[in-house]
Amino acid sequence: MFKHTLSLVASATLVASLGADTLQIEPIAITSNAIETNELQAPYATEIYTSKEIEASHSINIYEFFNQHTSLITSSGYGNSFAQKLDVHGYGIGDGYQNIVVTINGRRLNNIDMTSQLLGSIPLSTIEKIEILKGAGSVMYGDGANAAVINIITKQGDHNELGFYAGNYHSLGQSLYLSSAKERYSYALHLDHFDTDGTRVIDAEGNRDSQKSTNGGVELSYKATDSLEVHANAGFAKNDSFYGRPMTILEYNENPAQEGSAGFGSTQQQFKSNVLGSGLIYTLNNNYSLEIDGSREVKQSNYITYNSIANYRYNELRAQVNYTDDAIKATLGTSGTWGKREGYGNITTKDNSSLYLSSELHLGDHTFIVGGRTEKVTYDYQSTTASKFKDDTLYAAEAGYAFNVSKNSSFFTNYAHSFQAPDIDRFFNWGGAFNGFIEPMKSDTYTIGYTLITPKNKFKTSIFYANLSNEIYYYSDPAWMNSKNTNIDKSHKYGLDLSDQWVINEQFNLSANYNYVQALIDTEQQNGEVYDGNHLPGVSDHNIKATFSYLPNTNTTLALTQIYRSQAYAQEDFANNFTQKQDAYKSTNISVTYAKDNYEMFAKINNLFDQSNGIWINNDEIYPIDFTTTFTAGLKFIF
């Protein structure tokens, strides 16, 4: 099983937001699951980040926060920073995001095609907590919950905030957040705008990879009776992004900010999304409650460069009954997502419907979880020349056990069977012709771990092993014509996670995660090439992010962050024989914050030493990212 030398992934985050007189660490409740627990008792691996930690990072967007302060890896999708991809536990920066379910207040953000989750539409000022459940969540979240589940919970209560920031490359941002909670009702409203001229020249006319986004939303809740609470929400997002094509290694080494001699020009994509949602929570008695939530999202992706438009419609409905008493918690639920895309000469749908049961038992210092899920996935493809239909019934299961060694520490073990049903883009080959349905991926993940939480230190460690069949990938044929979406017959991944959040004293704070990952292909061949025993491309052995902060007084925080991600095979190098590898990623970032009364000022420099970074797709096919020094300064008012 463990036939290769272990390598390492490390990351660190910081509790620099806490004042010198409040530096205390406590177990954080995991509230996104219907069965609520806390990170000390959880029988699975977790990372949890509070609003204070998120605000202290002064990240421009959620992608930057993930990349600099969590074990997640983020990277722009082929140069488009508004369509960034996520990876954790060695599923690869190319396709890893499809093995991560992302939700915001329970609503799924995963798409039915290869469009990555639109996280840039979530302003950091609205986030109360981010919960990352690694190798778990398949029963509650189903399709795609293989590597992790990321649950984003927005703020509630009384909080008003107005923020401004500006940086080089004519970067500007403004945000407004207003919320209030009364005895019977609450509301939250946000508006957020960002634009930048961009850091790279992308065409012969000297245009740059500029970006612009505007997001807004409102959430309302009303407690009609002591037993019934109803809520509703609405939101919109508009993105306009220009981005460049790849460059050669010589061009990248010479100047990653240039267009590149290939002369492919640039791409412009506009993206619009509108969401409406509503739901209720009805408490039947002290033991039983009913939750119902539904949403509808209408989206449009417009590649103006190619005059290519796709319209999307997503409907989602969830209903579940929860039972809780002193020893037992259980959830019985059903959910459905119905997705439709019209464009590119066809109408294609992917519909999921499921039934799940999850339970948790507390017996003194022992906690047990067990659950199962059945999910039916239906595809329908209609064009002027073809009509295709297929359905699959897939299953998920999870079992876990945690033992509290003391009031501050616990051991846990977890097993999860999960699956990934192919997205609709997987049924098309190079050139857009329908190439037939491919198999769903199935995964068995085993995790064991240990957690220690004291007032000054939070330490977590876990090891995982995942055995996969039919891992989904894109085979890129050197002659292009045979390129297609297909499956890896057998593959596996394993690794080690370590984290330590340490309040050294009233002036110094440190928090660290360490992950060790290997992703290996057991059995697969394409077009005469045998990949058996090769490494999955796009997976770095080491990913290090470390932040150290100094609080000279109760108002000021200085923070230093170092990020390192080791080399990997280029994303299309399944044969592991390209002459060029994915370079190591390096960035050193510093920030200073001054907060007093109802205002806060900050300044931040990313990539202080001007390190060149890029994404290697193939030999001489490099997309530069985070390759230059950027600085930002801002002001926030809380009222």
And the tokens for 409? 């520490």
- Helix %, strand %, coil % of the chain (to 5): 5, 60, 35
* 598: in domain: yes
- In the prediction, which pLDDT does 264 show? 67
Q: Among residues 630, 628, 584, 585, which one has the least CA distance to residue 606?
A: 630
Indicate the burial class of 246 (C-beta count within 10 angstroms; 0-12, 13-18, 19 or more): buried
Type of residue numbered 59: S
Summarised one tens digit per residue, pLDDT across range 153-192 is 999 889 899 999 999 999 999 999 999 999 999 999 999 9
Residues above pLDDT 90, as percent of the chain: 75
Highest mean pLDDT among 193-207, 278-292, 468-482: 278-292
- In the prediction, which pLDDT does 23 show? 55
Other C-beta atoms lying within 10 Å of the C-beta of residue 238: 16
| Model confidence band, residue 441 (pLDDT cutoffs 50, 70, 90) | very high
| Model confidence band, residue 34 (pLDDT cutoffs 50, 70, 90) | low
- In the prediction, which pLDDT does 454 show? 92
Model pTM?
0.93
Q: Which residue has the higher pLDDT, 596 or 81?
A: 596
And the tokens for 163? 């923020």
* 1: in domain: no
Contact in structure between 158 and 194 (CB atoms under 8 Å) = no
Q: Facing residues of 297 across strands? A: 275, 314
Cα distance between residue 171 and residue 122, in whole Å: 18
Is residue 17's pLDDT more than 60? no
* 2: in domain: no
Indicate the burial class of 569 (C-beta count within 10 angstroms; 0-12, 13-18, 19 or more): buried
- Phi/psi zone of residue 574: left (φ > 0), alpha (ψ -120 to 50 degrees), beta? alpha
Contact in structure between 616 and 579 (CB atoms under 8 Å) = no
Cα distance between residue 514 and residue 459, in whole Å: 11
- Per-residue pLDDT averaged across 500-527, rounded? 92
* 603: in domain: yes
- In the prediction, which pLDDT does 8 show? 32
Note the maximum CA span of the chain: 70
- In the prediction, which pLDDT does 5 show? 31
- Per-residue pLDDT averaged across 14-22, rounded? 40
- In the prediction, which pLDDT does 250 show? 95
Residue 88: phi, psi to the nearest 5? Answer: -155, 150
Structurally, the chain folds into a number of domains equal to: 1
- In the prediction, which pLDDT does 620 show? 94
Summarised one tens digit per residue, pLDDT across range 589-610 is 999 999 999 999 999 999 999 9
* 493: in domain: yes
Summarised one tens digit per residue, pLDDT across range 349-400 is 999 999 999 999 999 999 999 999 999 999 998 888 888 899 999 999 999 9
- Per-residue pLDDT averaged across 70-79, rounded? 86
* 518: in domain: yes
Q: Among residues 539, 476, 393, 530, which one has the least CA distance to residue 93?
A: 539
Summarised one tens digit per residue, pLDDT across range 307-333 is 999 999 999 999 999 999 989 999 999
- Structural domain containing residue 390: 9-638
Residue with tokens 């990876």: 87
- In the prediction, which pLDDT does 7 show? 32
Q: Among residues 75, 55, 4, which one has the least CA distance to residue 563?
A: 75
* 4: in domain: no
Q: Which residue has the higher pLDDT, 411 or 23?
A: 411
CATH number reported for the structural domain that contains residue 609 in this entry:
2.40.170.20
Q: Facing residues of 54 across strands? A: none
* 3: in domain: no
Q: What is the 3-state secondary structure (H, E, C) of 538-595?
A: CCCCCEEEEEEEECCCCCEEEEEEEEEECCEECCCCCCCCCCCEECCEEEEEEEEEEE
Cα distance between residue 455 and residue 22, in whole Å: 10
Which range (57-61, 98-102, 312-316) has the least confidence? Answer: 57-61
In the predicted model, what is the mean pLDDT of the chain? 90
Q: Among residues 162, 10, 4, 126, which one has the least CA distance to residue 513?
A: 10
Give Cα 191 distance to the centre of its chain: 22
- In the prediction, which pLDDT does 477 show? 83
- In the prediction, which pLDDT does 79 show? 79
Q: Which residue has the higher pLDDT, 618 or 15?
A: 618
